[in-house]
Amino acid sequence: MAGKESTGKKVYLYTERAACSTCGREFDARVRYPRPLKRYCSRACYSSRPRKGPTHKCEHCGVGFVPVAGSRGRFCSKACCDLSRRSAAATGCEVCGVRFTYFQWLNGRPSVVKGRRKTCSPECAGKLSGEKLSKIVGPMRPAWKGGLSSNHSGTYRGPGWVGIAREVRARDGHKCMSCGMTNAAHKKWCGQQLEVHHKVPFHNFTDYRKANRKSNLETLCIPCHRKADAAVLGVQLGLAFKRAGLD
């Protein structure tokens, strides 16, 4: 045995003949006292050393395993950890009853979000919305237009509407107030003039004069007009759901 004393702390470095605990071959083991004697002749022997039996049980699959240093020892693999998180956050679809897990991208990685959605697919979401709408009838419905009468036929906007619409287009410079499309470009695109939009829907008024005030009107192209109508309908639909207790 050859050795020497290092300067500073009392640490003794030396080599000693030892037998490998895995293959039994003798080798010169480097020892740094007071650490124990090195027991393996190579990294391959260290990797193939006999391991202790399982000390933990996976919470997901129930298989016994030896946890990696620094881990909590709850799951035997990352796959079991992910599956356990999914099953814990799974909820039942209110339409078809299928259990599903909703993921959302947070900080560049998918993260399980619990309780954010009530349906498993867009088809089920459409059915649920239809069921809610079927319970809202008559004046409570956001698309209610006062019933089928001469004053609420869906396209009727009161006497003198054509002239009022012409004046509004001239006031807005014959262009869409949302995207800027001109009347000439609109005619070339679809063969029709720019449309005049009611900011507060016409069917929300009982008097056509109040509905057709120029402060409530603006010029829009067909695509922007559809978007504006959909936005207003969405707000009124949410209010209707709250009034009916279906939110």
Domain ranges of the chain: 12-47, 56-113, 138-244
1 pLDDT band, cuts 50/70/90, is very low
Tens of pLDDT along 186-239? 988 888 899 999 988 887 788 888 889 999 999 999 999 988 888 877 766 666
Mean model confidence pLDDT for the chain:
76
Reported pTM: 0.41
Using CB atoms within 10 Å of the CB of residue 22, give its burial: 0 to 12 exposed, 13 to 18 middle, 19+ buried: middle
Asked whether residue 34 carries a pLDDT value surpassing 70, the answer given is no
Asked whether residue 147 carries a pLDDT value surpassing 60, the answer given is no
Beta-bridge mates of residue 30? 15
Look up residue 116 and give its two tokens. 């954010």
**Rounded to 5, what percent of the chain is helix, strand, coil?**
35, 20, 45
Q: Where are the beta strands (DSSP E) in the chain?
A: 2-5, 12-19, 26-33, 56-57, 64-65, 91-92, 99-100, 102-106, 109-113, 195-198, 217-220
pLDDT of residue 117: 74
- By the 8 A CB rule, do 27 and 18 touch? yes
The amino acid that residue 149 corresponds to is: S
- By the 8 A CB rule, do 56 and 66 touch? yes
